Structure 1
Amino acid sequence: MRQQSPGKALQRAVNRLFNQDPNPDPFTLRRLRKEAETLHSHDSLTATLMLARIACMEQQPELMVALYKPLLLQYPQQAWIHVEHALNLRKLGFYAAARESTLQAMAEDDTQPGIEQQIIRDDILCGYFQEAGAYLKQAVRASKPIFRAQFHFLESLQSLLIQHQWSDPMVARMQQHAMDLLHAQPLYPTGILRAPAVHISLTTAEHASLETQQTSYTPWLRWRIHLLATREQITRLNEQLQQRYAADAFLPPNPQQQIDLQLAPWQDEAIYNHPYAFYM
């Protein structure tokens, strides 16, 4: 049996934790960091990429950025380095910066596998729903494969946003308020492949009229950003988030009537079985 190289073995171990463990053991992370530092002398690129992922799992955004800075200077025209950078930014909840990094990857090489689907996902994470819909329609015109449920979700959501005069920058402002509040603590979203950090779904509220004996339905967007924190912490943070929304003149009055964006406790549960629900 062929023995795995130290670099490949390290990548597998780090990626397994990155994708599958919401709260990695600090002793394991320290051991992996030592292995990456040892690897650096003969495979500096792999070592740096793994050290950056470890920094993410240790919730050290400044260290992650410092590790990527020389790579971005050394490989500015390599789309893959911007994709990797975006992955790390996304893990820590810097969704707007991750979107910018994905856009940079597209600018360098728009044939990079999966890049169009990733910018759509980044747009959704940031609140650029109308831009995401435009990318999907562009893919349809080019006869590229798309996720039908995602297409119909964005079509329905765009109708809601247009009806209530929501622009993409307004929606993105709500998301940015939430992330700025978290990062100020500092706290970070919690997510892994089987139960990612962000859940966005389009749902309806039922209204029964006693006068007309009729029932009407009002669509609204349910948006949850999950994190490892106590319910008391999350309740307090959501109260502060509501205060930020109310004080922002750029947002419409009572924005939560159409877009219910809140923080929520992370749970290791399966993806919701809902046609218009997306975990990111």
Structure 2
Amino acid sequence: MQTLIKFLILCLTTITFAQTTINGKVTDSKNNPIAGANVYLDGTYDGDTTNDNGDFNFTTIEKGTQTLIISYLAYETKTMIAEVSTLENLQIKLRDDMGALDAVVITAGTFEANDNSKVSVLTSLDVVTTASALGDFVGALQTLPGTSTVAEDGRLFVRGGAAEETQIFIDGIRVFTPFTPTVNNLPTRGRYSPFLFDGITFSTGGYSAEYGNALSSVLLLNSIDEPDQNKTDIGIMTVGGSLGHTKKWEKSSVSVSASYINLAPY
């Protein structure tokens, strides 16, 4: 038994002498201690984290030349390559990382919905090429998510609201009667041709306070700007033809068109 105890003591003494202690202190450029910095030997599990005073202390069984790495957020990582036995009572200073990002502060703000990227935008060509729209911009909008057709009325119902809850504006002016009046049980249509507008903006929710009277949605119709030049349009059909001319002046323009259709051959 005494021989066994002596053998165990000898082994423990050998292990103790085989370990090397690495210690020191980590500070910033103003000599303030850095708490929570990581200090470790590269490629090993040996390391420590600095305490509130910036001190670290750990042991290792590694020998020879090793790489000691000291890192902390917002500071440049420092690397020391030296003999393990010399890594004692180290005084390490970390420099501020000039490439570190500043703190991001998130605060509550206002919500704007006047950006066309947040709403549905249709062109005149989109309207006339939409199946079942029959060339009516309201019919084209009824195919978008959030809209519905109530009893085939033909008016614009959005998210379950009434047609009166959808506000329609032409060049910023509210239109109170955008639909053509019809008798009961017949679908109604919009009063305006889609070719009168160069932009049809439709928002099913999230519009600005400018349209505060709207409860369900906002439909913005922007009319076509002034023509860039004089032009004449000629159309030929099997049942007739059309002729139009646009005259442009410096600050104004006028367009005149006429068409003739004769269905007698049919």
Range of TM-score over shorter length:
under 0.3
TM-score, normalised by the number of residues in structure 1: 0.20
Identify the structure with the greater helix proportion: 1
Which has the larger Rg? 2
TM-score, normalised by the number of residues in structure 2: 0.21
Identify the structure with the greater strand proportion: 2
